Chains A and B, each alone.
Chain A
């Protein structure tokens, strides 16, 4: 039972992470929020038409609503009466509201209650089995979500080059004859289908967490698109598995806990990422100050080397007068220069090492 839930959660996370990467890179993260809300409208309306929660038509109808949301937002934007932020913020609450009202009015007809819209019912998902010819093949949602994940993967592999180019240089993509607008809609369809599939198990808002947070975490760790996709998939799957286990041991809402774990991974990367983390950024900025001071000192020494004033200029005390450095600061700079092998100190005089001279020359030549 718990194994089934973990399996479903991991598949959902893997499926979500693929479109998520492109949403983050294209600065469209909030479209996932909009789409995941408005597909509810599509799910309810299509349900009234087909009366079956497992019909592929439901999926198509709901995905169409996702695209409708994007189109309506663009239509509003095109009137130039509202700005982009408002055009998104006006469409999806309206569609979502209609969806919620329909569910609460016809609760008897629809097997969906208002609370489940937000949290999903992943705990119940394992009870709905996929049985073919009397053989139990596992939970149905694992299969349906697996199919969506597979579709996402195939689309990703098939259009990797196109997606990559149009994401990083839309202008070039257009000039080479690709159709960025078409790709944009393709991506939005991918987001919609994934959101519909994940809706059942994790609910409307946590789809956002699973799409955006792992991708954002991966974005903090790498510059390579392929690696970012793999990482975000891995992080998503790990968050899902850890989330489910944690939820069981703490007896909390599964989807809520998964979102919190996603957030925790994001926070860890935000602080500790080797290259883009806040701490390493802070360290680099701090070191840069000392490195710059060191270079200044080296340039100063080389400038006066072999001149009559060398005796006076290379004196440690002179740094206070000439470079206007506080004694303590000067001391630290000298120490860091010696530590890095740029300087030598004999008595109270400073000399450049060969490495120091080399460094200064390459610095001067760079300009």
Chain B
């Protein structure tokens, strides 16, 4: 029973830290349109982990994380260097670095697996993540990195924000944008390598993209977005970790990714204002308003071009709306007192309706003058 509690708290703590970090730093990756960077960094980290183990024969999480960080950082730095100095485009070098580093990592892992003395069992968990093998020691290392990264973000919040949204403005203020970018990327590398243990190399990129993309739908303020993203990340990675340690043969990474993708789907569907449902409702109501305005306009035109007075126009002759739906719109207009109907399929503007059309015209003219 004690053992179970130990595992449980370790898993929950670890998951929370991973979710927090990837949530916060995913916001920057998303806003800079560099979401796929996470994919490269996490794949590139694998040879770092393998090399540290192969050379030093240690499995201490701090050493492995540092190895992963070094390799991930190297992979990140290769990309701009190649893009700036050759005809190779960014997407190509991302794919090449990702696949080649990862291939190297797999080759190294295959060497490690053949070592006679190695207790290599722990290393393959970096592929898909395995929360249930996490130790307190791992959590301590993760906590230390989280603390440092979060402090750095809080300290440079304003600077990172300006450099992300308007690098030219930041430069004109005299901020060292190059250094800020470098620091931010290093922090993203840290966030990714911390997450490798629970989510794994293959799927870590989703942990960077999905919470931030979900959070983006709920708000336009970066502070709230980062907070929400961290919450989503924590929620997904804690529940993913819990699920996978209670169900056998369920790798943590894929479980977490499925949950966070669900969060994202809910967000793009139901988030107020930006969400698809809201957009659909708004579009419908706009459509109704526009159709009503067009009907009034048509009636006004008929009024102008025929003899004035108590003349009813035939509903059948109206062209603004197709015939099946016209009754609904005319009912609304009549309810509002802008039109009145005769019994025999006729309709005309009331004086209130006339006033409504003229107000609309005046508004249009005012806008045109602007």
Q: Do A and B bind each other?
A: yes
Q: List residues of A whose CB falls within 8 A of some B CB.
A: 24, 27-30, 32-33, 37, 76, 79, 81-86, 88-90, 93-94, 96-98, 100-101, 104-105, 107, 114-115, 118-119, 205-206, 208-209, 211-213, 215-216, 219-220, 247, 250-253, 255-260, 262-263, 266, 270, 276-278, 281
**Alpha-carbon distance A90/B211, docked complex (angstroms):** 10
CB nearest neighbor in A for B37: A85
- The reply to whether A118 and B202 contact each other, CB–CB distance below 8 Å, is yes
Complex contacts, A79 vs chain B, CB 8 Å: 268, 276
**Alpha-carbon distance A5/B319, docked complex (angstroms):** 72
Complex contacts, B128 vs chain A, CB 8 Å: 100, 114
Give min CB distance, B128 to chain A, whole Å. Answer: 6
Q: Contacts A89-B205, A251-B114: A266 and B100 contacting too (C-beta < 8 A)? A: yes
**Interface-located stretch among B88-96, B153-161, B169-177:** B88-96
Complex contacts, B92 vs chain A, CB 8 Å: 24, 27, 29, 212, 215-216, 219
Q: Contacts A94-B258, A253-B110, A259-B103: A27 and B206 contacting too (C-beta < 8 A)? A: no
CB-based closest 5 A-B pairs: A259-B103, A263-B100, A256-B106, A93-B206, A256-B107
Complex contacts, A93 vs chain B, CB 8 Å: 203, 205-206, 209-210, 257, 261
Among the listed B94, B127, B202, which residue makes an inter-chain contact with A30, where contact means beta carbons less than 8 Å apart? B94
18 inter-chain pairs at a CB distance below 8 angstroms, sorted by A residue, are A27-B89, A29-B95, A33-B39, A79-B268, A93-B210, A104-B251, A104-B254, A107-B249, A118-B106, A206-B103, A213-B99, A219-B87, A253-B109, A253-B110, A256-B107, A263-B100, A270-B86, A281-B85
- The reply to whether B104 and A97 contact each other, CB–CB distance below 8 Å, is no
**Interface centre among A24, A88, A212, by most B CB within 10 Å?**
A212
Complex contacts, A107 vs chain B, CB 8 Å: 249
Say whether B364 faces chain A, with CB atoms less than 8 Å apart.
no
**Interface centre among B92, B103, B253, B258, by most A CB within 10 Å?**
B103
Interface size class of B (residues with CB under 8 A): 35 or more
CB nearest neighbor in A for B207: A93
Among the listed B43, B85, B104, which residue makes an inter-chain contact with A256, where contact means beta carbons less than 8 Å apart? B104
Interface residues of B, dominant DSSP: helix
- The reply to whether A263 and B213 contact each other, CB–CB distance below 8 Å, is no
- The reply to whether B86 and A281 contact each other, CB–CB distance below 8 Å, is yes
Complex contacts, B98 vs chain A, CB 8 Å: 33, 205, 208
Among the listed B33, B96, B108, B202, which residue makes an inter-chain contact with A216, where contact means beta carbons less than 8 Å apart? B96
Complex contacts, B114 vs chain A, CB 8 Å: 251
CB nearest neighbor in A for B208: A89
Among the listed B96, B103, B249, which residue makes an inter-chain contact with A212, where contact means beta carbons less than 8 Å apart? B96
Complex contacts, A119 vs chain B, CB 8 Å: 106
Say whether B111 faces chain A, with CB atoms less than 8 Å apart.
yes
Say whether B338 faces chain A, with CB atoms less than 8 Å apart.
no
Give min CB distance, A290 to chain B, whole Å. Answer: 21
CB nearest neighbor in A for B276: A79
CB nearest neighbor in B for A83: B33
Complex contacts, A247 vs chain B, CB 8 Å: 107
- The reply to whether B250 and A209 contact each other, CB–CB distance below 8 Å, is no
Residues 271-288 of B, flagged 1 when their CB comes within 8 A of A and 0 if not, give 000101000000000000
- The reply to whether A96 and B203 contact each other, CB–CB distance below 8 Å, is yes
Instruction: Scan residues 240-260 of chain B and give those whose CB is less than 8 A from a CB of chain A.
Output: 249-251, 253-255, 257-258
- The reply to whether A85 and B274 contact each other, CB–CB distance below 8 Å, is no
Complex contacts, A250 vs chain B, CB 8 Å: 107, 111
Give min CB distance, A283 to chain B, whole Å. Answer: 13
Give min CB distance, A222 to chain B, whole Å. Answer: 11
- The reply to whether A105 and B249 contact each other, CB–CB distance below 8 Å, is yes
Give min CB distance, A245 to chain B, whole Å. Answer: 14
Complex contacts, A83 vs chain B, CB 8 Å: 30, 33, 35
CB nearest neighbor in A for B275: A81
Say whether B34 faces chain A, with CB atoms less than 8 Å apart.
yes
**Alpha-carbon distance A104/B106, docked complex (angstroms):** 20
Give min CB distance, B317 to chain A, whole Å. Answer: 38
Give min CB distance, B83 to chain A, whole Å. Answer: 11
Complex contacts, A276 vs chain B, CB 8 Å: 86-87
**Alpha-carbon distance A260/B99, docked complex (angstroms):** 9
Among the listed A209, A219, A270, which residue makes an inter-chain contact with B99, where contact means beta carbons less than 8 Å apart? A209
- The reply to whether B91 and A28 contact each other, CB–CB distance below 8 Å, is yes
- The reply to whether A98 and B254 contact each other, CB–CB distance below 8 Å, is yes
**Alpha-carbon distance A10/B255, docked complex (angstroms):** 36
- The reply to whether A270 and B100 contact each other, CB–CB distance below 8 Å, is no
CB nearest neighbor in A for B212: A86
Complex contacts, B103 vs chain A, CB 8 Å: 205-206, 209, 255-260, 262-263
Complex contacts, A104 vs chain B, CB 8 Å: 249-251, 254
**Alpha-carbon distance A224/B249, docked complex (angstroms):** 50
Among the listed B88, B104, B250, B257, which residue makes an inter-chain contact with A94, where contact means beta carbons less than 8 Å apart? B257
- The reply to whether B102 and A259 contact each other, CB–CB distance below 8 Å, is yes
Complex contacts, B209 vs chain A, CB 8 Å: 86, 89-90, 93
